[in-house]
């Protein structure tokens, strides 16, 4: 198939919604990364996402909705959900909540789980497509499974050209890291760190959320709480060495702060800038010659938690 390039115009928003209604796949920008969208109610369309990405079928998808009212069609809403949604939606927060009996989602969206991961993206194109389409759009990040997430249309095209119906070819993702995932099935628990930090959530919840610690057995489908948190993920082609305080010969150097390097996530040591640059620079450094990448230490505070989570997965041995 040839992948249509869409622009940020009302006419193309309408074309995207029509492709989705027809069971097709459309990659669209959100404020975090590009999503690969399909009609969340259409089992055939959702199967297409897993096929295009080469994604393991035990790894469920996030349902994107336009607003809280649309979210309530799919999940049992709670007071805590209302509190955090009011504070952070639209924005880079995904909530895991019990699925309603009448949700009508394709079973593959939740990989058979009784819960749904749901979020309201802030990006104008994502919002416009959702409003035009009028129901939930299932969308994982628009990259081949296990590879670096796309924050530019070019990244999507590199990974999925010819495998999907259309991609919005103009917009950018300003946050650059995937959403924070907060499970509200039990006591609030962060399943995946993101640009909304534990302390921001604590301010709204009144107490700090639990944080799932990362261990090697996240690679198994038995890790049902965040089954997609595969240990090896965001994988560049070369090996990745973390917390490099000195460079070794032949390494491609991804720096942070005032260091001599090939690419710098943030020369001034700003974590927000580093988060926005991380996937772009991993894509870029992958293309330089050499097969070893080394990365400066990133402070394990605030946004640094999310950056280090992605780096740790980028550095993990590949299956
Ligand atoms: O920022 C984002 O969240 C981006 C944009 C496109 O919205 N999406 C994204 O999707 O990162 P994906 O598929 O790459 O990551 C979704 C994560 C996976 O780790 C998956 O296991 C988890 O959400 N997930 C989905 N449904 C779940 C559920 N019911 N319970 C626990 N985790 C769930
Ligand atoms: Mg992903």
3-62 pLDDT, tens digit per residue, is 999 999 999 999 999 999 999 999 999 999 999 999 999 999 999 999 999 988 888 999
Assess whether pLDDT exceeds 80 at residue 318: no
CA distances from 203 to 77, 184, 254, 306 (A): 20, 16, 33, 18
pLDDT number for residue 121: 98
pLDDT number for residue 57: 81
Assess whether pLDDT exceeds 60 at residue 92: yes
pLDDT number for residue 225: 46
Residue ID of nearest Cα to ligand 1 atom 31:
226
Distance 36 CA to ligand 1 centre (A): 12
173-202 confidence digits (pLDDT tens): 889 999 999 999 999 999 999 999 999 999
Residues 250-276 have a mean pLDDT of 97
Q: Which atom of ligand 1 is nearest to the CA of 177?
A: 1
Give percent helix, percent strand, percent coil of the chain, each to the nearest 5. Answer: 30, 20, 50
pLDDT bracket for residue 227 (50, 70, 90) = very low
pLDDT number for residue 224: 39
Assess whether pLDDT exceeds 60 at residue 223: no
Peptide bond into 90 cis (omega under 30): yes
Q: Which atom of ligand 1 is nearest to the CA of 116?
A: 29
pLDDT number for residue 214: 54
Structure tokens at 66: 């336009």
CATH of 4-211, one of 3.30.1490.190, 3.30.60.50, 3.90.870.10, 3.90.320.10: 3.90.870.10
pLDDT number for residue 230: 65
pLDDT number for residue 58: 82
Span between the terminal Cα atoms of the chain, in Å = 30
Q: Which atom of ligand 1 is nearest to the CA of 229?
A: 19
pLDDT number for residue 284: 94
pLDDT number for residue 55: 87
Assess whether pLDDT exceeds 90 at residue 295: yes
pLDDT number for residue 238: 84
Q: What angle do CA 81, 86, 91 make, to 5 degrees?
A: 100
Kindly report the average pLDDT of the chain as a whole number. 93
CA distances from 176 to 17, 25, 232 (A): 25, 22, 19
123-140 confidence digits (pLDDT tens): 999 999 999 999 999 999
pLDDT bracket for residue 234 (50, 70, 90) = confident
Which among 248, 233, 246, 250 has a CA at the least distance from the CA of 296?
A: 246
Domain ranges (residues) in the chain: 4-211, 239-315
pLDDT above 90: percentage of residues in the chain = 85
Kindly list the protein residues whose Cβ atom lies closer than 6 A to any atom of ligand 1: 30, 32-33, 35, 59-62, 92, 94, 96, 110, 113, 115-117, 139-141, 178-179, 181, 191-192, 225-229
């Amino acid at each position: 198939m040839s992948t249509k390039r869409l622009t940020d115009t009302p006419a193309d928003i309408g074309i995207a919604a029509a492709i989705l209604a027809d069971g097709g796949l459309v990659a669209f920008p959100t404020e975090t990364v590009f999503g690969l969208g399909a009609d969340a109610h259409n089992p055939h369309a959702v199967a297409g996402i897993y096929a295009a990405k080469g994604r393991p079928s035990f790894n469920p998808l996030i349902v994107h909705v336009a607003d809280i009212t649309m979210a309530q069609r799919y999940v049992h809403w709670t007071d805590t959900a209302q509190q955090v949604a009011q504070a952070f939606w639209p924005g880079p927060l995904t909530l895991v909540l019990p699925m309603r009996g009448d949700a009508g989602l394709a079973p593959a969206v939740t990989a058979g789980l009784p819960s749904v991961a749901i979020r309201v993206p802030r990006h104008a194109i994502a919002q416009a497509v959702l409003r035009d389409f009028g129901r939930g759009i299932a969308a994982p990040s628009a990259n081949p499974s296990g590879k670096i997430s796309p924050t530019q249309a070019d990244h999507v095209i590199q990974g999925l050209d010819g495998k999907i119906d259309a991609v919005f070819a103009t917009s950018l993702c300003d946050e650059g890291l995937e959403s924070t995932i907060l499970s509200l099935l039990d006591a609030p628990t962060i399943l995946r760190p993101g640009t909304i930090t534990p302390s921001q959530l604590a301010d709204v919840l009144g107490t700090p959320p639990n944080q799932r610690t990362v261990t090697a057995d996240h690679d198994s489908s038995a890790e049902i709480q965040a089954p997609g948190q595969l240990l090896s993920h965001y994988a560049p082609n070369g090996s990745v060495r973390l917390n490099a305080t000195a460079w070794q010969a032949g390494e491609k150097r991804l720096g942070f702060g005032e260091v001599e390097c090939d690419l710098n996530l943030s020369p001034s040591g700003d974590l927000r800038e580093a988060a926005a640059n991380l996937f772009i620079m991993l894509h870029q450094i992958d293309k330089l010659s050499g097969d070893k990448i080394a990365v400066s230490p990133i402070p394990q505070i605030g946004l640094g938690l999310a950056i280090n989570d992605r780096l740790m997965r980028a550095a993990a041995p590949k299956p």
